[in-house]
Amino acid sequence: MMQSASATTGHPAARKVRDIAPSVQKLSPWDITQAQIEDKSFVAKDFNGQRWPLTLDVSLQRTAYRKLANARPEQGALVAIEVKTGRLKAFTEWPVPSARDVSLLLGHQFPAASVFKIVTTAALLEQGRVEPKRVVCTEGGTHSIEREQLEVPRTGVAECNPFFDALGHSRNAVYAQLASRLLKPEDLENYADRFGFDSPVPLEVDIPMGHFKTLDDPLGFARAAAGFEGSTLSPLGAAYLAYVIASGGRIVPLRVLQDSMTAPPEPTKAFAAIRPETAKVLRQMMEVTVRRGTCAHTFHDERGRAYLDRTSVAGKTGTLDEQESTYSWFIGFAPSQAPEIVVSVLLKNGRLWHKKANEVGRDWLIQYFSHQEQVAKRTPLKSNTAS
């Protein structure tokens, strides 16, 4: 069984996240982003000219590019992971970088925003021992965190809701208050380590997941817990964060090479970043995001009908304004109770934008499950009788 959370950094799970990355990097990230289609599959070539077939799906990759282009961001990226195998199925960005530009997919890190609340939620559930049914009363904190949000409101009109709804509605004041009262900075850093922050994503190439560092200052710590500062993610790192939840809290490697030496271990041999029961609660809280939280309007029409009517989705949004830029995140997986696919979308815009990341994520998921149905129809059924 998983032991209870330690209050120190450098938890054994965090060291394993670093160790699980392949010791020999076969390809550079640049080789992957420059992959070309050969015989209906993606192939990367290294500097020696050797060909490396990739796990990327041509149809899903093209769909990802079109959805990003239609959103018209200043920059955008979409990453998708097949849950059962850990294979990258989409790994693309818009616009395509020139030789002079730095690719978003090569480990560039962006403010994690409210996506980081997933880490804080895990820490509160395990280290802070917060029950999902616990009612938390707050006042303010919709767009910022001030010192008054660190305490239980004593006057004014307070809003009271169960902690179970806090992630899906991205209630900043709830996280500021609970983290300030129940966690220490080293607790949050510990759980960031568990998920793989400040480590490379376990893949055949060296791409960082993200960075986290908080302050001892109470207000700074509260802001970090709510995702306002202190944390960054790469597009692949954000997808891996959702992948850990979809995998029941287990840390397993990803694959982008068809002939990979890093096949996922057996479930009994994988180790956990968080307890399976914690991952289950997180998944249920992420379902709230889509059913009635920050993504409800995006994933339902004006009559309340789900666009993905036969598939439940678990997700998390994140939006942060920083100087003249607006960052929009969506990470999620579906079907939520038996995950098949994880998707991460990042859009970077100015003050004006055409679409948010959750809309691009929704559209890509609709196309993904349509694609899966078409593949199933084209695949002949195997006969149980000898021919």
Predicted local distance difference test score (pLDDT) of residue 46: 83
The overall average pLDDT reported for the chain is 87
Residue 5 inside a domain? The answer is no
Cβ atoms of 49 and 360 within 8 Å: the answer is no
pTM: 0.90
**Which portions of the chain are predicted below pLDDT 70?**
1-26, 98-101, 155-157, 260-270, 375-387
What SS3 class is residue 257? strand
Q: Are 204 and 264 in contact (CB under 8 A)?
A: no
CB 302 within 8 A of CB 322: no
Return phi, psi of residue 273, to 5°: -80, -35
In a domain, 2, yes or no: no
The total number of structural domains that make up the chain: 1
Establish if 146 belongs to a structural domain.
yes
Per-residue pLDDT, 269? 53
Kindly report, residue by residue over 259-285, the tens digit of the pLDDT. Answer: 865 555 554 456 789 999 999 999 999
Does residue 7 lie in a domain region?
Answer: no
What is the predicted pLDDT for the residue at 60?
Answer: 95
Sheet holding 110-111, edge to edge: 110-111, 231-233, 210-212
DSSP 155: S
Give φ, ψ of 38 to 5 degrees.
Answer: -135, 120
Which residue pairs, CB below 8 angstroms and at least 24 apart, start in 160-164?
Answer: 160/135, 160/136, 161/135, 161/136, 162/132, 162/133, 162/134, 162/135, 162/136, 163/124, 163/130, 163/131, 163/132, 163/133, 163/134, 163/135, 163/136, 164/132, 164/133, 164/281, 164/284, 164/285, 164/288
For residue 44 the two structure tokens come to 């990367």
* Residue 358 to residue 303: CA distance in whole angstroms: 19
Beta bridge partners of 94: 76
Is 254 part of a structural domain of the chain?
Answer: yes
Q: How far is CA 373 from CA 210, 218, 242, in A?
A: 35, 51, 24
Say how far apart CA 218 and CA 141 lie, in whole Å.
Answer: 15
User: Is residue 346 a part of any domain in this protein?
Assistant: yes
What is the rounded end-to-end Cα distance, in angstroms, of the chain?
49
Query: pLDDT value at position 326?
Result: 92
Distance of CA 19 to the CA centre of its chain: 21
What pLDDT does 9 receive?
40
The encoded tokens of residue 267 equal 């479930």
The parent domain of residue 348 ranges over 12-378
- pLDDT at position 152, please? 86
pLDDT in tens, 89-141: 999 999 987 655 678 888 789 999 999 999 999 999 999 889 999 999 998 88
Provide the CATH number for the domain around residue 203: 3.40.710.10
In this structure, is residue 128 part of a structural domain? Answer: yes
pLDDT at 34: 83
Establish if 201 belongs to a structural domain: yes
Which pLDDT belongs to residue 262?
Answer: 52
pLDDT of residue 105: 86
Measuring CA to CA, which residue among 232, 211, 224, 127 is closest to residue 172? Answer: 224
